[in-house]
């Protein structure tokens, strides 16, 4: 399944800035950054559960907000991209 992960981490404190970096690092392990606090990920139900668990360990739910949206497929039919394209298509094999 394709999901969109968006987050808003309160960065008014040193701890908040640290949480922001850790949340981004978790998301980088599951998908591709498309904007500063937005990631597109292709995951199965097991990886989705792991992603949620990992993020829950990093955020402070009293001041941070994170949302996960499931994208309707086929993605190309429902998502319009203006500007810089994605670095790579996560659904295709990655060969260097």
pLDDT digits (tens, 9 = 90+) for 14-31: 999 999 999 999 999 999
For residue 80, the model assigns a pLDDT of: 76
19-23 long-range contacts, Cβ below 8 Å, gap at least 24? 19/58, 19/59, 19/60, 19/64, 22/58, 23/55, 23/58, 23/59, 23/64, 23/66
For residue 78, the model assigns a pLDDT of: 74
Contact 3, 68 (CB under 8 A): yes
d(CA 12, CA 10): 6
Q: At what angle do helices 45-58 and 14-28 cross, to 10 degrees?
A: 170
What are the tokens at 45?
């139900």
Contact 77, 8 (CB under 8 A): no
pLDDT in tens, 33-89: 999 999 999 999 999 999 999 999 999 999 999 999 998 877 677 777 777 776 666
Q: Domains in the chain and their CATH numbers?
A: 2-78 (3.30.70.240)
């Amino acid at each position: 399944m394709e999901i969109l992960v968006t987050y808003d981490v309160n960065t008014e404190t040193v701890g908040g800035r640290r949480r922001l970096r850790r949340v981004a690092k978790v998301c980088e392990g599951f998908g591709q950054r498309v904007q500063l606090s937005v990631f597109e990920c292709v995951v199965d139900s097991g990886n989705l559960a792991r992603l949620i668990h990992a993020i829950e360990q990093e955020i402070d739910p009293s001041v941070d907000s994170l949302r996960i949206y499931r994208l309707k497929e086929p993605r190309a039919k429902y998502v319009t991209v203006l500007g810089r394209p994605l670095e790579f298509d996560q659904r295709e094999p990655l060969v260097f």
